[in-house]
Structure 1
Amino acid sequence: MLNSRMTILLRELMAADTALTSRYLASITDVSSRTAREDIKQLDEMIEGAHIESIRAKGYKLTIQDNQSFRNYIKNAYQEKQLDDAVIPNSPEERVRYLIKRLLLEDSYVKLEDICEEMYISKSTIQNDLKQVKQILKKYEIVMDKRPNYGLKVKGSEFKLRFCMSEYVFERDKKVKASKQILLDQLPFLTEAQLSKIWTIIIEEIKENDITPSDIAINNLFIHLAIACKRIKSGNHVSIYKINLDEILNQTEYAVADRIVTKVEGCLQLTFPHEEVAYIAIHLMGTKMISQTNLQDEEIREVLDDDIYQVTLSILNRIEEKFDLNIRNDRELIVGLALHLKPSINRFKYGMNIRNPMIDDIKFNYPLVFEAGIIAGIVLEEEMGVSIDENEIGYLALHIGAAIERGKMRQGPKRCLVVCASGYGSAQLLKYKLQSEFDSKLEVAATTEYYKLQQCSLADIDFIVSSIPIPDLLPIPDLLPIPVIEVNTILAEKDLEKIEMMVFKNSTRLFEYVKENLIFLDQPFSTKEEVLTFTCKELEHKGLVDHRFLESVEEREAVAPTSFGNLVAVPHPITPQSNQTFLSFCTLKKPIQWGDKRVQFICLLSVKKGSTEDLQSMYEMLGKIIDDVSLVQELLKSKSRYDFAQLLVSKS
């Protein structure tokens, strides 16, 4: 049976008259290129009467071999999909999302007995699921009102109810489905023609008024406007404090919103109050972007509010202090991040959420970048008094990730200076031996005698290789300390190893951090809190951390769950707490709920305080584990610490 991603891929391939690249197909299904290629391979094995041809340097093209057979396959697949969409939720995650959607879309009270019958589950099961529902709704300041003989009903401000609806009624796992079709499914009183008209109205107005939101922002506005129509039809209106409404009325975006609403009113025969117009205006204020990114320094200061500019610098300073990513002076990052924060102020100010359909992929594929986004969020809260959720953190992380990738592109080989007291011949021997061993990974910038060292420019020199003792940190004015590696003139194996560590400084070997006494297998815990308490207490007993460690780990979890999918979570303190870097592993008898995902494999990561160890490499290696379904399953089956450690190291 076709899953949702394969359905989209097949639809795209059928509509295209040229080959489509895996990169493009990955983007429309919001997965990695590797996952897209695997989906295409499975799809090719399933379809009948056709073949997906891989064309070198061009991509994939659907070739129909038997038209009738292919038509029959499409018809059957569609019917199966219709049946599949009606399947009753089975897993706890599916039931929780079903319950949230059910409660949000119901205007009256719902009896538990009725929901139990709908999902074919017991009352005790639904009571347990409702605990998770309650926790999720709490984030939106929505409560469940329970009345005897009536049932349950959700209550909260219209703002929060809509935000929650946008997140859970129009689920992220359906993000690749056309927005209009999702709305048609969930809001049957809106016809496709009406939704098309609303979309056209939005596009026309933002173009005419030179407002340039991103594609995702337009999609958010479209969804929220449709939700507003449903809520108004139900007699529910947004309430905005008078002071805020007066403030919004003076904005250019209010006039644009008023024109949008006037046209929508004519289309749907609804009457929007001023508060609703203001609500749309807030969306426009919160999503507009300044498109110029190639501004000069003085122009940047004119465009950016000084407080935004200063908080951007504070964010980058804090990130650099913790992660040493060498991005603090990236001008493009400063501009991009500040320009992103400028319109974000309106979202923060009015407590609006913004959906980020890429959030799971960001957390999964770029965990270090997401952690840097967490730091950005903390600085924003400290300096601006605003609290942002993981969706917004994900967008901040994208800017940071782009800067890291730019840095990689600028990096050439490591450069060293050779110092030798034995004369020109031995210096050249050292030079050519190094070039032979490390090839393009190391450039020997020059050779010199020790007495001439002060005359050498150390600009762009990463380290010194010397055959005589030199103070490890050279006190050269106006230059950063340069590491010195002392070696024999005739390089021995141990000399090469020392140089190799410097050349490949960004490489981290997992086995250095895997200790058998920090592995806890097949534990019986049933909650995230139990796992963290147990693991942190064990670390405290072993003298690796103090009593504040657990609190720091919980503080990080409160910002955004560290569950990554594939049953894996990587909890860690919000700031470095230990005197050494280590990993602690815990596997569970049964999966538990960890945020919005199920988790059975826990890797607790602690980085040494003040460390400049390359976290990117560490996270990349952990990412390989997270991404390897079979490896995680093998590790979960391990019965001895030794076998677990050996398996882990062999695959890293």
Structure 2
Amino acid sequence: MERYKEAHRLNVLVICATGYGSAQMLKNRIENELGQLVTIVDLVGYYDLSDERLEGIDAIISSIDLSHLVFTVPVFTVSVFLKSDEVSWIKNQLQMIDASNNQSSQERLEESDDFDSIFSNYFTEDAFFVFENADKEEVLTRLVESVCHDCQKSKWQLLDLINQRESMSTVVFDQDIAVPHPIKAFDERHRVAVAIIKNGLKWDDNFHEIRLVFLVSPSIHQNTGLPVITKRIVDLTDSDNQKQELMSCQTFKAFRQVFLSR
């Protein structure tokens, strides 16, 4: 049993404001309280986050709020002191991560609060686009314009924040899906804009045929239900059939039906 536990510990990345001082305190607390469940792979400052740092990571434990960012792994926000209630919460969540291997993504969604209502709070028909052919700049501009209704300055500010986020680590989740989002919350309202590119587009030198783009713009206030939405998008990377169905959609109604379906 001890050998099994050792072999199945989750690889964790610890993130703090700078990576020094109080970060060492958090690292020591994690090792003392969660050492049997996790292995700390690295300890980094917020601005040192990169694709290389995220490679092979199962979860992130952070002393700063990362709720406005989207990752393909769970993120646990805690204090640098890692209080006892936070330890209990993380232990419970880590067990759920392990157990989720035996539970389908749709079952997890069905256990969440009204997924249909959550969808309607984030997605709208005026922020849904279908292209036969397009380049990255054109798609990002159209998506940003659909979530920015104020002025040109707002549009360029949001694009800049999106570029800042992508400079930290990739926003491409697999060969078909990209999820650009700002490095910090930007607007009063939360929204998700969607683009389907039938013939694919070149996102960067590594990804040449991105066909689904989800622009996630969180609110500066509350983002109730956003983890459910982002988890659903991440789950698409393991469902080729549903990805194909989404990429075949011509209307928002069809997209909604597929996104909410089994």
- TM-score of Structure 1 vs Structure 2, range by shorter chain: 0.5 to 0.7
The structure with the largest alpha-carbon Rg is: 1
CA separation of 1:377/1:408 partners in 2, compared to 1, >3 Å: closer, same or farther?
closer
Deviation at residue 332 of structure 1 after TM alignment: 1.1
Structure in which a larger fraction of residues adopt strand: 2
- Listed one character per residue, the Cα deviations across residues 411-437 of structure 1 (whole Å, up to 9, x for unaligned) are 7xxxxxxxxxxxxxxxxxxxxxxxxxx
Deviation at residue 625 of structure 1 after TM alignment: 2.7
Residue 518 of structure 1: aligned partner: 127
The answer for unaligned runs of 5 or more in structure 1 is 1-20, 28-213, 215-306, 314-327, 345-375, 379-386, 412-502
After TM superposition, list the pairs within 5 Å mapping 1:171-190 onto structure 2.
Answer: none
1:331 has 2:47 as partner: no
Structure in which a larger fraction of residues adopt helix: 1
1:407 has 2:89 as partner: yes
Residue 389 of structure 1: aligned partner: 50
| Distance in 1 of aligned mates of 2:21 and 2:40 | 6
How high is the sequence identity, in percent, across the aligned residues?
A: 18
Q: 1:546 corresponds to which letter in structure 2?
A: S
Residue 560 of structure 1: aligned partner: 169
Contact kept, 8 Å, 2:196 with 2:213, in 1: the verdict is yes
Contact kept, 8 Å, 1:513 with 1:582, in 2: the verdict is yes
After TM superposition, list the pairs within 5 Å mapping 1:637-652 onto structure 2.
Answer: 637-651=248-262
Contact kept, 8 Å, 1:516 with 1:645, in 2: the verdict is no
Contact kept, 8 Å, 2:172 with 2:179, in 1: the verdict is yes
After TM superposition, list the pairs within 5 Å mapping 1:607-622 onto structure 2.
Answer: 607-611=218-222, 613-622=224-233
Q: How many residues align?
A: 202
1:533 has 2:141 as partner: yes
Deviation at residue 559 of structure 1 after TM alignment: 1.8
Deviation at residue 558 of structure 1 after TM alignment: 1.8
Tell me, what secondary structure is at the counterpart of 2:170?
coil
The answer for unaligned runs of 5 or more in structure 2 is 12-18, 62-73, 78-86, 94-110
Contact kept, 8 Å, 2:200 with 2:210, in 1: the verdict is yes
After TM superposition, list the pairs within 5 Å mapping 1:126-137 onto structure 2.
Answer: none
What TM-score do you get using the length of structure 1 for normalisation? 0.27
Deviation at residue 576 of structure 1 after TM alignment: 0.7
Contact kept, 8 Å, 1:525 with 1:531, in 2: the verdict is yes
Contact kept, 8 Å, 1:523 with 1:586, in 2: the verdict is no
| Distance in 1 of aligned mates of 2:75 and 2:257 | 35
Q: 1:584 corresponds to which letter in structure 2?
A: A
Q: 2:51 corresponds to which letter in structure 1?
A: E
Deviation at residue 403 of structure 1 after TM alignment: 5.5
After TM superposition, list the pairs within 5 Å mapping 1:461-610 onto structure 2.
Answer: 509-526=118-135, 528-541=136-149, 546-547=154-155, 548-595=157-204, 596-597=206-207, 598-610=209-221
Contact kept, 8 Å, 2:186 with 2:220, in 1: the verdict is yes
Residue 310 of structure 1: aligned partner: 22
CA separation of 1:618/1:647 partners in 2, compared to 1, >3 Å: closer, same or farther?
closer
Residue 103 of structure 2: aligned partner: none
| Distance in 2 of aligned mates of 1:533 and 1:578 | 16
Deviation at residue 394 of structure 1 after TM alignment: 4.2
Q: 1:536 corresponds to which letter in structure 2?
A: V
CA separation of 1:518/1:388 partners in 2, compared to 1, >3 Å: closer, same or farther?
closer
Tell me, what secondary structure is at the counterpart of 1:535?
helix
| Distance in 2 of aligned mates of 1:614 and 1:512 | 9
Tell me, what secondary structure is at the counterpart of 1:631?
helix
